[in-house]
Structure 1
Amino acid sequence: MQDDPQRFEHYAPAIRELDLGRIGKPAEIPRRFDLGRDGRLSSHYIPFDHVNPRARLVLVGITPGFTQWKNAMREAQRQLAAAAPEHVDLAAVKRAGAFSGTLRPNLIALLDHIGLQHWLGLASCAALFGAASHLVHTGSILHHPVFIDGRNYNGTPNMLRTPFLQRQIEAHFAATARALGPAAVFVPLGPGVSAGIRWLAQQGVIAPDRVLHGLPHPSGANVERIAYFLGRKNRATLSAKTNADKLDTLRHELQAQVRGLDQIID
């Protein structure tokens, strides 16, 4: 699976016509972007058609959210105002939308904390969203935005036990994973994504030793776990909902796994 400019060109006229200022929630996304519906679930096209087959690092979220959808559409509109669809830089569209909003600074801090910037030869993983974007592929196990009851999908219902969602994994993310180089390392964000990646590994799509499981999700709703993982919050001040021992174990395991990456990857 490589870039699919023909798919983007199909949606380009509708993207040009979008009045993003009038779209304030997922339920207001025009039906022309619908990719499928099943009961409470819906999936909608996002111009994330770019695939980076040279990527060394693959960041995998659960699904683009509404904020990411709007940011990607805004960048696509900006480019379409200046060029024909076939000249739109789909990589730039993806950079504008992928892990945008409050997710990105948290994600960069977490990646740096486990040492991935050193493995990649960077001062910081912040460069992955700029000058070093050639080293990363950003994606989601549910490639196109999925909403449930008009809200961002957050893992319920279970994607591996929901045929509508499992088909999307097989049709989109599995194809992308096969297109990436054999040296790519996958970082799933959140337990639901980890479960999906493990399932794909069982199918032979991804090598298990190329996956870094256990990084806290960078969502702003996860602020306390992130702060403790990064050493910004003292154990004594944690609430009962945060398992410090588990986070300590995950941090040490991930840092050790990153240090050992060069031993398993040419």
Structure 2
Amino acid sequence: MRHPMPDVLFNRYRETIRSLDLAAVATPHQIPPAFLLGREGRYSAHYIPFESVHEHARVVVVGITPGFAQWKNAMREAQRQLAAGSDDDAVLHAARLAGAFSGAIRPNFVALLDAIGVQHWLGIASCATLFDADAGLVQVSGILRHPIFVDDKNYSGSPPMTRHAFLREQVLRYFAHEARQLPNALYIPMGASVSLGLDWLAEEGVIRRERILHGLPHPSGANAERVAYFLGKKERSALSAKTNGAQIDAARAALLAQMGQLFTR
């Protein structure tokens, strides 16, 4: 089962999305003003139809924020669903899943989760089914749910969101609301800036610290060597100078220990 937030912003934006000329939006600067949620100095937040929440999700994959390309993909899918006469819940669900972990990133991500035993904790054969038969067990999120642009470019984590009042407010207003609906889930940060943000939310009492799985290499293709070493597919002696094998070993050991403790609770 999934449900949107009680104060679904989609109600306000439904017709604006329906009439949006996506072909005329080639840069963040060209996003129509109607979608602006807030602006402070160089920073702006823009609505994306991502309210859908899997209320029985046991794994929450947390990226930093949707980028401009994902904004367009989500809007395109929402328009397609609206044109087909789908109900609001179906529109929001489809829009949120549009492009989520597609391409090479998905098998890497699945292999990393399986390597630390997340599939056993979930009671499934492999985390591969999280993108198919067991999709209800996973929530793919951004700690900044709505796209953040800095000088009309995708926000990439610098400066840290925890040091910026506008960004902290965005996290608390949207992601924290979602996290409170999923208190027993595992939270998997995609990147160092997201890790810092989740730790801050743990300090704020929103998420339990022991439920945050720090230390997985980012599953992107650009991170292939770290992923291969974490998975035992590359020898330490074969690593390039840019990859810290000892650090990855320590992260893997800590994650395995953390998963072991979760099994006893």
Regarding TM over 0.5, the answer is yes
Indicate the residue corresponding to 1:241 in structure 2. Answer: 242
Report the alpha carbon displacement of residue 17 of structure 1 after superposing the two structures with TM.
Answer: 2.4
Report the alpha carbon displacement of residue 45 of structure 1 after superposing the two structures with TM.
Answer: 0.9
Distance 2:83 2:216 in 1: 39
Distance 1:36 1:242 in 2: 39
CA contact (8 A) 1:57 1:135 kept: yes
Distance 1:233 1:66 in 2: 35
Q: Any residues of structure 2 matched to 1:157-168 within 5 Å, and which?
A: 157-168=159-170
Report the alpha carbon displacement of residue 11 of structure 1 after superposing the two structures with TM.
Answer: 1.2
Indicate the residue corresponding to 2:28 in structure 1. Answer: 26
Deviations 1:46-103 (A, max 9, x none): 1110122211111111111223222222221111011165364422321224344554
Distance 1:102 1:124 in 2: 17
Which residue, 92, 106, 111 being the options, matches 1:90?
Answer: 92
Which residue, 82, 89, 111 being the options, matches 1:80?
Answer: 82
Q: Which runs of 5+ in 1 are unaligned?
A: none
Indicate the residue corresponding to 1:261 in structure 2. Answer: 262
Report the alpha carbon displacement of residue 135 of structure 1 after superposing the two structures with TM.
Answer: 0.9
Q: Secondary structure at the match of 1:11?
A: helix
Q: Which runs of 5+ in 2 are unaligned?
A: none
Q: Secondary structure at the match of 1:160?
A: helix
CA contact (8 A) 1:69 1:145 kept: yes
Q: Secondary structure at the match of 2:207?
A: coil
Indicate the residue corresponding to 2:218 in structure 1. Answer: 217
Report the alpha carbon displacement of residue 167 of structure 1 after superposing the two structures with TM.
Answer: 0.7
CA contact (8 A) 2:210 2:258 kept: no
TM-aligned CA distance change 1:244 to 1:77, over 3 Å: same
Report the alpha carbon displacement of residue 252 of structure 1 after superposing the two structures with TM.
Answer: 2.1
Distance 1:250 1:132 in 2: 27
Q: Secondary structure at the match of 1:260?
A: helix
Distance 1:87 1:136 in 2: 17
RMSD: 2.3
Distance 1:37 1:199 in 2: 23
Distance 2:234 2:31 in 1: 39
Give the ranges of 4+ consecutive aligned residues of structure 1 lying more than 4 Å apart after TM superposition: none
Letter in 2 for 1:223: A
Indicate the residue corresponding to 2:208 in structure 1. Answer: 207
Indicate the residue corresponding to 1:42 in structure 2. Answer: 44
Q: TM-score scaled to structure 1, two decimals?
A: 0.88
Deviations 1:149-170 (A, max 9, x none): 3322111011011111011111
Report the alpha carbon displacement of residue 144 of structure 1 after superposing the two structures with TM.
Answer: 0.8
CA contact (8 A) 1:106 1:219 kept: yes
TM-aligned CA distance change 1:104 to 1:9, over 3 Å: farther
Distance 2:209 2:8 in 1: 33
Q: Secondary structure at the match of 1:98?
A: coil
Q: Secondary structure at the match of 1:245?
A: helix
TM-aligned CA distance change 1:150 to 1:220, over 3 Å: farther
TM-aligned CA distance change 1:163 to 1:103, over 3 Å: farther
TM-aligned CA distance change 1:138 to 1:87, over 3 Å: closer
Q: Any residues of structure 2 matched to 1:41-120 within 5 Å, and which?
A: 41-83=43-85, 86=88, 88-100=90-102, 102-120=104-122
Letter in 2 for 1:148: V
Moved more, 189-198 or 63-72: 63-72
Q: Any residues of structure 2 matched to 1:113-132 within 5 Å, and which?
A: 113-132=115-134
Report the alpha carbon displacement of residue 27 of structure 1 after superposing the two structures with TM.
Answer: 2.9
Distance 2:170 2:250 in 1: 33
Distance 1:167 1:236 in 2: 45
Report the alpha carbon displacement of residue 31 of structure 1 after superposing the two structures with TM.
Answer: 2.4
Distance 2:85 2:14 in 1: 11
Count of paired positions: 263
CA contact (8 A) 1:61 1:139 kept: yes
